[in-house]
Amino acid sequence: MAPLSNLAVRDIENLIHPNTNLDAFRATGPLVIERGEGVWLYDSAGKSYLDAMAGLWCASLGYGNGELADAAAAQMRKLSFGHLFAAKSHDPAIELAEKLKEMAPVPISKVFFCNSGSEANDSQIKLIWYMNNALGRPDKKKIISRYKAYHGVTIASASLTGLHTNQVDFDLPIAGILHTACPHHYRYGRDEESVEDFSSRMAAELEALIEREGPETIAAFFAEPVIGAGGVIVPPKDYFEKIAAVCARHDVFMVADEVICGFGRLGTTFGSEAVGWQPHSISIAKAVTSGYQPLAAVMIPEDMYQAMLIESRKIGSFGHGFTYSGHPVAAAVALKTLEIYARDRIIERAAQMAPHFQGKLRELGSHPLIGEARGMGLIGGLEIVADKHSRQPFEPKHGVGPRVMAFAEEEGLIIRSVGGDTISLCPPLVITAAEIDELFVRLTRALDRTLVWAKEKRLLK
């Protein structure tokens, strides 16, 4: 192993890195990224990498977009900071709220701004509790999420998240957060169970959970249209239709976490449109600014807003919000981002590019290490297995997914291993067909190198 650079040593001694093995990291150090352009990143040594993850599922317009930089600079010169507390406001927040309401796939009354998907989902929980108190339903407070879901890492949103590493030894989940089954037929379908029967069973298990807990205690159901960090899990086509029917029968409020799927990732403006689901409220973040500024929002329906009015009259104030809610610079960048999406037909272009991307993804399904290749739009997952026939995964201690990541990095490709040993792909929406081809050439080389390594270690079944 090459000696660590001065910059790497400074990083190790001063930073904490999320979702990182902090002990192992002390020996390996960081990959220090210096600049980006389009779908390409360049490290501090000048090496280039094709970013197949759009940063963290967010840089939809790629890197170095001058229009977004100019929008931020112009707003900084005009109004560098403004807040929305105590009836204050500013043009960018007002215009952005109007635009988001116009784009929403379901009726939306108001928009509440925050700074991350975690904050948006955390706020959703608070608003749902607040609403049910206003409606005289103090017992209707339990929230249902799904195993393998990812909804954030604040105390409440990490409780929604259905991933072991985000909860173990953090004393999570908190009380009142429940989990139902993950809609992954490949991994959790029973022998000879059709996809349609699997969806019916998922809905039946949700209904059984609601009835067991008492419908009068169940407030809401949270879901990503396509599960992202839990392994890029695409639900069966009829899954949300059946889930929504259960929620309607028991008056369960439905929240769509569109933090990853929103703004074109699945080939539609919102992911819920792509999977045939009409939620009550929506959480957004990430691609709303193409990751250029932190901004998120809760898109609030009229009945929730009316409940907020009831509580404001009773208490005298709506006691929730953040210093940077609707920050003018972030809002200005979001407005320019949405303008570019519309003007350059980015979402339509992504939908047109999806068949090529998905075709290349499915081709890798025949690789000896891949049990399932799955995806939708411009997002994909490759589930690594020790045995294709039995679908047996590798033991986590072998770190096969991280090994693929390391080989990919050496090949000049940025990917992630998520939800166990699943390789996730989420390139910028502006990626070209030629760049998609190059992505999969590099990924294939990384998988081939991993296969050789796994054989040497005698890890295959």
Please list the pLDDT of the chain residue by residue as tens digits (461 residues).
678 889 999 999 999 999 999 999 999 999 999 999 999 999 999 999 999 999 999 999 999 999 999 999 999 999 999 999 999 999 999 999 999 999 999 999 999 999 999 999 999 999 999 999 999 999 999 999 999 999 999 999 999 999 999 999 999 999 999 999 999 999 999 999 999 999 999 999 999 999 999 999 999 999 999 999 999 999 999 999 999 999 999 999 999 999 999 999 999 999 999 999 999 999 999 999 999 999 999 999 999 999 999 999 999 999 999 999 999 999 999 999 999 999 999 999 999 999 999 999 999 999 999 999 999 999 999 999 999 999 999 999 999 999 999 999 999 999 999 988 999 999 999 999 999 999 999 999 999 999 999 999 999 97
pTM: 0.95
Ordered by where they begin, the domains of the chain are 31-64+345-456 (3.90.1150.10), 68-343 (3.40.640.10)
Burial of 236 (C-beta count, 10 Å sphere; 0-12/13-18/19+): buried
Question: How far is residue 304 CA from its own chain's centroid?
Answer: 24
Residue 269 in tokens: 């403006």
SS3 391: coil
Residues 6 or more apart in contact with residue 214 via CB below 8 angstroms? none
- State the CB neighbour count (10 A cutoff) for residue 327: 26
The single-letter DSSP state of residue 266 is T
Cα 459 from Cα 461, distance rounded (Å):
7
- State the CB neighbour count (10 A cutoff) for residue 94: 14
Phi first, then psi, for residue 108 (nearest 5°) are: -125, 135
Element (H, E) at 37: strand 33-37
- In 195-347 the beta strands, taken as DSSP E runs, fall at 218-223, 253-257, 281-284, 296-300
**In the prediction, which pLDDT does 342 show?**
98
**In the prediction, which pLDDT does 1 show?**
63
- State the CB neighbour count (10 A cutoff) for residue 80: 10
Q: Which of 273, 301, 285 is CA-nearest to residue 111?
A: 301
Q: Determine contact, residues 371/383, Cβ cutoff 8 Å.
A: yes
Residues 6 or more apart in contact with residue 23 via CB below 8 angstroms? none
Q: Determine contact, residues 369/447, Cβ cutoff 8 Å.
A: yes
Residue with tokens 């093995």: 21
SS3 235: coil
**In the prediction, which pLDDT does 144 show?**
98
